[in-house]
Amino acid sequence: MIKILIQNLAGYDAIIFVAAIINCILFIRILKDLKIIDGHFKQTKFLQNELLAYRLKINEHEHSIERLRDVLDQFTTIKHRLDQISVFYISLTSIFPLLGILGTVVALLNLTDFTNSIITVNFSLALTSTFWGILFGAISKFGEGFFTAKLELYDKLYHEVRSSLLLIGAENE
């Protein structure tokens, strides 16, 4: 079985592995950007508390507002890049099963002669393509689930902080 899997890597399965490597690189990039945004998230939460104190007139720090705007700008830049990468990752994840099915069809189309050896080889090609497509699709879906929840949380935070800044801007005018 393992011998067949390794032999088929030289064929159509190589495309599935290249897509898996690209997806792995994208996932690592997403994790790095999430770590950066996590730092901004903590900083933004701290600055939001200062902002709340400012709005309640307990403590007036114009510096905190500017700092919050800077953090929000950096957050926005990284979040935009992260959104673009994650959309590509999610798209590639959804393609894995399709690549597996395509490999199956291509292998079965190569059935030109119906001798036992040709049927065996083409069916093994077909099944390994399906196997890799499903395996990498499932693994990538778990990765997608990991960062999707965080992205939604960061979207919510971004809109809260932006709304607060707009309110302060309106109050100061």
Decide: residue 106, CB within 10 A, 0-12 exposed, 13-18 middle, 19+ buried.
middle
Query: Can you tell me the distance from the alpha carbon of 3 to that of 105, in angstroms, rounded to the nearest whole number?
Result: 22
Please state the domain extents for the chain.
2-172
Q: Which whole number is the average pLDDT over 129-133?
A: 89
Tally the residues of the chain. 173
* Residue 22: pLDDT band with limits 50, 70, 90: very high
pLDDT at 173 over 70: no
Q: Which whole number is the average pLDDT over 128-146?
A: 91
pLDDT in tens, 45-61: 666 666 555 554 544 55
